[in-house]
Amino acid sequence: MEKELKIEKISDYKYIIPREEDMRVAGIIYISEKLLPKVISDNAHLQVMNIAKLRGITKYSLAMPDVHWGYGAPIGGVGAFDAESGVIVPGFVGFDINCGVRLIRSNLVIKDIRDKLEDIINLLYTNIPSGVGSTGKIKLKKKELEEVAMKGALWAVKNGFGTPEDIENIEEQGRLKNADPDSVSDRAYERGLEQLGTLGSGNHFLEIQQVVDVWEENIANVFGIFPGQITIMVHTGSRGFGYQICEDYLDRFGKTVVEYGLKIPDKQLSCAPASSREGRRYFKAMNAAANYAFANRQLITHWTREVFSSVFKIPYEKMQLSLVYDVTHNICKFEKHTIEGKEKMLYVHRKGATRAFPAGHPELPDRYKQTGHPVIIPGTMGTCSYVLVGTEQAMEETWGSTSHGAGRIMSRHQAVKENRNRSIAKELAMQGILIRGASKKGLLEEIPEAYKDIDEVIRVVEGAGLCRKIARMVPLAVVKG
């Protein structure tokens, strides 16, 4: 007889899976009554429970409101592991290491861009490679790629792709310092050599947007955001380079769990003690992939600025195309947190979840010390995106974490199968949204209905006290992979 599932409501936006059997901690899901049934039918709650069974997990196994089934660990999951006794889990980071989102602001408004929008989106689609297996305009040698893996966005800026100000407005200043190129396989380098500066496929995008709502004007002013403003959002990650690194270490850790006598509830959660040689080696390789992703988004930013300059025939500086912030998800960070009044070092895994550090946090750039950094949560190519700011409550409850997007409710295969006769590009055009994509199939996979209601997701993170809304943007034109 199947055991009855226990998910107990703590508040309108917070549910607990009590600790049972071999769970080391309880599970916490930040969700609404409206979104909860899909979490259960998707079995994502079972993956939250599986994470709770891993060695060294601290306090809770967490899930954000965009949570859905993923490889081994749920997408939208957050978990922190003790630096000495805990494990590090490639499947709880994900294949697209440091998939992230950056927001670029401008001094443009809709009247400035309306007649030029089609030219801009066509040039962006032409100049920034997208789609499955896409290759970039930069061809690197292995030695150069090793430097990218070490220096991240700093490599891009030093090579003329951006400004020092960009670096100041990227999480970790666009470079994770524990990267080690020697921890990366030759196959990963082969895959990464020609993909720097590409969007890739899936849910990755480059989007031109308009700010339609601003809630906290004082913070919005610090972020450089105002009503009616044109913004640009970039969402992509470490491409085949990061994917191969994840694949390599998943294969190695399948043996490591046996060697260290680790008990795992799912072979997709193969892991290593974080303090072990193998665990440290993965962490260094993962940081290398994260740096690749920072450089990738930096190149795309540079070429986006070039497109705007070409269309408007003025330097991009006159349009004030400057970086608001770049936040990462699909990452494991070595962070200091306070637990029961004591500071402790933890390996915080955020898979499909992003940082939401509040005002005063020591890792914030100077510009955002008084406000907290911008938290960027995109919707879909037919719905809005949000900028928020983190809270002290998020630091206390979720290791300073929140949702990274809307979260899928429909598989890519299902989305294509059930909508093959639709023309998504025409439908979006009727809504006033221009779309350019590498394939019809790719657009069908990413139909807005394949995702949760982004407004409901935001209602949860705000209602749960993890973030506060600052601004909302709607799409005007989108390049999809």
Considering the candidates 45, 68, 302, 404, report the single residue annotated as catalytic.
Answer: 404
* β 26-29/57-68 pair status: parallel
Beta-carbon contacts of residue 476 (< 8 Å; ≥ 6 apart): 110, 113, 117, 208, 209, 210, 230, 432, 433, 434
The residue count of the chain comes to 481
Helices (H) and strands (E) in the chain, counts: 16, 19
**Whether the Cβ atoms of residue 326 and residue 375 lie closer than 8 Å to each other:** no
- CA 86 to chain CA mean position, Å: 24
Distance CA 342, CA 376 (A): 30
Beta pairing partners, 311: none
3 state DSSP class of 175: coil
DSSP letter string, 4-34: PP--EEEETTEEEE---TT-SSEEEE---TT
Distance CA 471, CA 100 (A): 19
The amino acid that residue 77 corresponds to is G
Any catalytic annotation for residue 404?
yes
Radius of gyration of the chain (CA): 21
Distance CA 128, CA 193 (A): 16
Quick one: which of 145, 141, 151, 142 has its CA closest to 178?
151
CA dihedral 190, 350, 462, 214 (to 10 degrees): -30
Residues with active-site annotation:
404
